[in-house]
Structure 1
Amino acid sequence: MDDSVLDVDQVENLIKFCPTKEEIELLKGYAGDKENLGKCEKYFLELMKVPRVESKFRVFSFKIQFGTQITEFKKSLHTVNSACEEVRNSFKLKEIMKKILYLGNTLNQGTARGSAVGFKLDSLLKLTDTRASNSKMTLMHFLCKVLAERFPELLDFHLDLVSLEAATKIQLKSLAEEMQAIIRGLEKVKQELAASENDGLVSEVFRKTSKEFIAVAESEVASVTNLYSVVGRNADALALYFGEDPARCPFEQVTATLLNFTRLFLKAHEENCKQTELEKKKADKEAEMEKAKGINLIRKTGKDEEEES
């Protein structure tokens, strides 16, 4: 199991070309001169000298990939954790949520929905659906306008949520499957090690390498299992933070909604800034025209006075 000699692709190819049970039985029953056999059959005979060779190759493949697999898995878990913490700890996001609730209650004043104590998370995406009578400004534009005028320090709330986009690309179901694959893989190493105890000299190095690997891998798997449990609790807590049921509004839905809201918010704010710039240019141009009119009027008045005199 020396990964400096064989890489994972080579080991996977060796697994593909392991003899089947039928081929093994045929070769076991062959009584002729083995020198007369083809290269393929000779190769199979060599593999057959190692008990459960395919199982050992699979253990080898798992061992080679284990370090990278654990690193990538931890990276995904930390991303989910970070996203949950960033969202829950963002004072700016919390303040914007308060403003949205206040805005909704103001608009719905006098109706049954005018004294709400909260709103569903997916309502954030409906802010772009509600338009003013001129149909140009949405409620999202109005929210951004109010914040820019009165609470400009809240406009960059997205900078609090640096892990959010990466977290939307992670499925908790995939993490669960990955966790199970790691646990099963390590269990198979232990099973093959136990089975190889009776193999004799041919598996001596395999046993030594496997024991060393298991000693390290068990500690890593225990650590990552604990982290996985913490992440699962934090993912559920994120939905609960917004008053949602984790079963009906899972982590993936929460993060996707927040990311879409952030993008719509930034787009609306950018459009507001462009509109403000256009209006400023228009006002400046009108002011210049008025100024030019005034100058022309003064010149005309002065000329008329000269002609009279």
Structure 2
Amino acid sequence: YDQKSLSVVFLELLKPFIPSDFEMKLLVNYENDGRPLEDLADEDQFMLRFGKIPHLSQQINTLTFVGNFPDTVKRLQLQLDSIISASMSIKSSTKLKKILEIVLAHGNYMNSSKRGSAYGFRLQSLDLLLETKSTDRSQTLLHFITNIILEKYADLANFHTELHFVDEAALVYLDSIIQDICSLERGMEMTKEVQDDSPVLKKFIKTNSKKLDSLMKHGKTAQEAYCSVVDYFGENSKTTNPSEFFPIFGRFIKAYK
């Protein structure tokens, strides 16, 4: 398991050349029949020699896993951090809560003649603030509310500074991250099974097992933080993805600015 000689890029290039059992059977039968190997195409000659390496597919998959592990963990860690930070900051922001109360109050005022006051609203309704315009169509409801905030609630004007990594979290597919973490678990188990007397694999396992455990815990924390903030706003965390939830706040902040 020489990672210096076999880069991840090179290993990925080798994968298409791993012969299937059927292909290997044909090539071995050809060789056993005593037919000249030089009559084979260069690709088939390479595949025959390549396919004779013991546990070829397993070795390449293990080396690829080991080589990709650091970058994969780093990528997933950053994505989980954005979910956790965005979820916690949105839920804990007192200024955002007051801004939404102001939005609700104006919504109730506008609809007071139609029905009784509402105790809340769906987050998707924030998008309607730009679509709802005054009778002369000179300004939107968001313009009106923004002016009210600036004039009477100046301390709330910078509410968006309390919200962190909202745009980054909007790009994350949490279910996909959890699947990637499960894939890393399987890869680590596979590596443990084939480590034998390989000092390289033994060192890798010793160095990175705790990192994987930490990533798994981080994944659970991200799931809990996300479900908590979605449920807090009355949405369904089981059917609402981060790519649907966080953009609502991203669009609202952008429009507000």
| TM-score normalized with structure 2 length | 0.87
More off after superposition, 63-72 vs 41-50: 41-50
Residue 2 of structure 1, CA deviation:
2.2
Cα 1:212–1:101 change in 2 (3 A) is: same
Task: Pick 1 or 2: higher relative contact order, CA cutoff 8 A, min separation 6.
Answer: 2
Does residue 91 (structure 1) correspond to residue 82 (structure 2)? The answer is no
State the secondary structure of the residue aligned to 1:240: helix
Residue 258 of structure 1, CA deviation:
1.0
Residue 40 of structure 1, CA deviation:
5.2
Q: 1:71 aligns with which of 69, 74, 86?
A: 74
Residue 259 of structure 1, CA deviation:
1.0
- CA distance, structure 1, for counterparts of residue 189 and residue 11 of structure 2: 19
Match of 2:185 in 1: 183
Residue 33 of structure 1, CA deviation:
8.9
Match of 1:107 in 2: 110
Percent of pairs with identical residues:
24
Cα 1:216–1:133 change in 2 (3 A) is: same
Cα 1:129–1:212 change in 2 (3 A) is: same
- CA distance, structure 2, for counterparts of residue 109 and residue 252 of structure 1: 34
- The answer for unaligned runs of 5 or more in structure 1 is 198-203, 267-309
- CA distance, structure 2, for counterparts of residue 250 and residue 76 of structure 1: 14
Cα 1:118–1:23 change in 2 (3 A) is: closer
Post-superposition CA distance 1:48-71 (Å, at most 9, x none) = 553111210111011000000001
Residue 97 of structure 1, CA deviation:
0.9
Cα 1:153–1:27 change in 2 (3 A) is: same
Does residue 244 (structure 1) correspond to residue 235 (structure 2)? The answer is yes
Does residue 216 (structure 1) correspond to residue 207 (structure 2)? The answer is yes
Corresponding pairs, count: 254
Q: CA RMSD in A?
A: 2.4
Match of 1:20 in 2: 20
Residue 117 of structure 1, CA deviation:
1.8
Is contact 1:80–1:167 with CA below 8 Å preserved after alignment?
Answer: yes
Is contact 2:83–2:222 with CA below 8 Å preserved after alignment?
Answer: yes
More off after superposition, 208-217 vs 231-240: 208-217
Residue 111 of structure 1, CA deviation:
4.1
Residue 130 of structure 1, CA deviation:
2.2
- CA distance, structure 2, for counterparts of residue 257 and residue 41 of structure 1: 55
- CA distance, structure 2, for counterparts of residue 101 and residue 82 of structure 1: 26
Residue 72 of structure 1, CA deviation:
0.5
Match of 2:8 in 1: 8
| TM-score normalized with structure 1 length | 0.74
Is contact 1:83–1:162 with CA below 8 Å preserved after alignment?
Answer: yes
Match of 2:136 in 1: 134
State the secondary structure of the residue aligned to 2:75: helix
